């Protein structure tokens, strides 16, 4: 009974926390844009405009839900569901801290430490494509279809280098469990560097990062929503909370991708050179590992914003060329080198 209660608390807590991060992220994005472009940004709702996401939410909730007459009704309603469901659910296997020890019982800070965490992430990551292509198709609008097609082609193209980067990580750590990967990153590497994935997989990190930006439809890969060409792409016809699910799903995706980058390449909850568990009590250690993990995630979230307001958008043919001509051969090369190094050091 106690076990189920703990599991339930973890599920609810981390689900709400991830969504809260996504909500705050919408605010950070707009304030960050304002800061970079030297203008005030949203500053009316609450101190520093902090209540702006709340106001946006209320607005989305109270809008009329319009289904266009020409749309294919059932698919149109299914689209946002299929997009947001995997986006909201991917975090289930990501460790968000080490563990608490209460009365000799270990409570892992992870919803589920299954040994197929990798496959779960890859599977759910692929599912988002259905929401996009169905939403675009069912809207029966030229902009939507163009946006949906572009987005689908882009997402599937960048999923290959993404998968290749993950494969190299699996080669290095020999496990599909995200917690085991995180645990393997304590201590130092080659005597001086922190034992983080980024130092073992520098090329893999770059590939993963680029592919993550493309998977999240973020600048410089935000072609599915290039406003000047196709209005807002696959969600042109959506309004009210259905649009909200699309937009929100994207931000949740960004939070999840940042967490994955932290887990695979930046040592999850480990601080460089310092072993926190040595001098912190069992409970304060749990809290500290949670805080360290989310500080790292916050940095990558900020990087998403920073890149968005710094880099211009690619042309579509450039996106496809980059994906197939550069990233995939580099990904294959990375696997070859990784396998060779492991073979030589075995």
Partner 1 sequence: MLNGYETIVMYLGMSLIAIFAMLGISALLGPFRPKRNKATTYECGVPLFEASIKRYDVKYYLVAVLFLVFDLETVLIYPIALDYRALAVHGWGVFLEVFIFVAVLLLGLVYALKKRAIEWD
Q: Which is nearer to partner 1, 178 or 219 (CB)?
A: 178
Calpha distance 148→135 (Å, rounded): 7
* Residue 46 vs 68, nearer CB to partner 1: 68
Q: Is 240 left (phi over 0), alpha (psi -120 to 50) or beta?
A: left
* Residue 235 vs 270, nearer CB to partner 1: 235
Q: x/- site string to partner 1, residues 25 to 44, per CB under 8 A?
A: --------------------
* 251-310 positions binding partner 1, by CB under 8 A: none
Judged by CB under 8 A, the residue of 10, 30, 308, 313 near partner 1 is: 10
Show contacts with partner 1 in window 104-143 (CB under 8 A).
111-114, 118-120, 122, 137, 140-143
Find the shortest distance in angstroms from Cβ 209 to partner 1: 18
- Check residue 199 for interaction with partner 1 (CB under 8 A): no
Part in contact with partner 1 (CB under 8 A); list of ranges 46-54, 58-66, 190-198, 269-277: 58-66
Q: What is the spatial distance between Cα 141 and Cα 299, in angstroms, rounded to a whole number?
A: 38
Q: Residue 98, SS3?
A: coil
Beta-carbon contacts of 42 under 8 Å, excluding residues fewer than 6 positions away, are 27, 30, 31, 34, 49, 52
Smallest distance from partner 1 to CB 47, Å = 26
User: Is 340 one of the binding residues for partner 1 (CB under 8 A)?
Assistant: yes
- At 108, phi and psi to the nearest 5? -70, 140
**CB of 135: closest distance to partner 1 in angstroms?**
14
- The piece of 41-49, 88-96, 279-287, 302-310 that touches partner 1 (CB under 8 A) is 88-96
Q: Does 244 bind partner 1 (CB under 8 A)?
A: yes
Q: Which residues contact 104 (CB under 8 A, 6 or more apart)?
A: none
Report how far residue 100's alpha carbon sits from residue 105's, in angstroms, rounded to the nearest whole number: 8
DSSP string, 23-62: HHHHHHHHHHHHHHTTS--S-SSSGGGTTHHHHHHHHHHT
């Amino acid at each position: 009974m106690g076990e189920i209660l703990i599991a339930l608390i973890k599920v609810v807590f981390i689900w709400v926390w991830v969504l809260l991060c996504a909500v705050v992220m919408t605010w950070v994005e707009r304030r960050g844009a304002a800061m970079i472009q030297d203008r005030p940004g949203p500053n009316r709702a609450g101190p520093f405009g902090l209540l702006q996401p709340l106001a946006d939410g209320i607005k989305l909730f109270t809008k009329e839900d319009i289904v266009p007459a020409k749309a294919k009704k059932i698919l149109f309603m299914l689209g946002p569901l299929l997009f947001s469901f995997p986006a909201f659910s991917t975090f289930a296997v990501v460790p968000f801290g080490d563990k608490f020890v209460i009365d000799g019982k270990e409570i892992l800070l992870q919803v589920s430490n299954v040994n197929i965490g990798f496959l779960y992430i890859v599977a759910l990551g692929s599912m988002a494509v259905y929401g996009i292509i169905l939403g675009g198709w069912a809207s029966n609008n030229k902009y939507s279809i163009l946006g949906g097609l572009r987005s689908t082609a882009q997402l599937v193209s960048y999923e290959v280098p993404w998968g290749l980067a993950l494969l190299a990580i699996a080669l290095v750590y020999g496990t599909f469990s995200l917690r085991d990967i995180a645990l393997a990153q304590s201590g130092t590497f080659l005597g001086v560097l922190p034992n983080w994935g980024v130092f073992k997989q520098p090329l893999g990190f770059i590939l993963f990062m680029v592919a993550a930006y493309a998977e999240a439809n973020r600048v410089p890969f935000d072609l599915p929503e290039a406003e000047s060409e196709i209005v807002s792409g696959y969600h042109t016809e959506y309004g009210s909370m259905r649009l909200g699910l699309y937009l929100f799903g994207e931000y949740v995706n960004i939070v999840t991708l940042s967490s994955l980058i932290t887990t695979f390449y930046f040592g999850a909850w480990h601080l460089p050179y310092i072993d926190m568990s040595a001098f912190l009590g069992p409970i304060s250690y749990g809290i500290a590992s949670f805080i360290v993990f989310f500080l790292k995630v916050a940095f990558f979230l900020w990087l998403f914003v920073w890149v968005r307001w710094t880099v211009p958008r690619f042309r579509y043919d450039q996106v496809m060329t980059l994906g197939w001509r550069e990233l995939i051969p580099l990904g294959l090369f990375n696997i070859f080198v990784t396998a060779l190094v492991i073979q030589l050091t075995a």
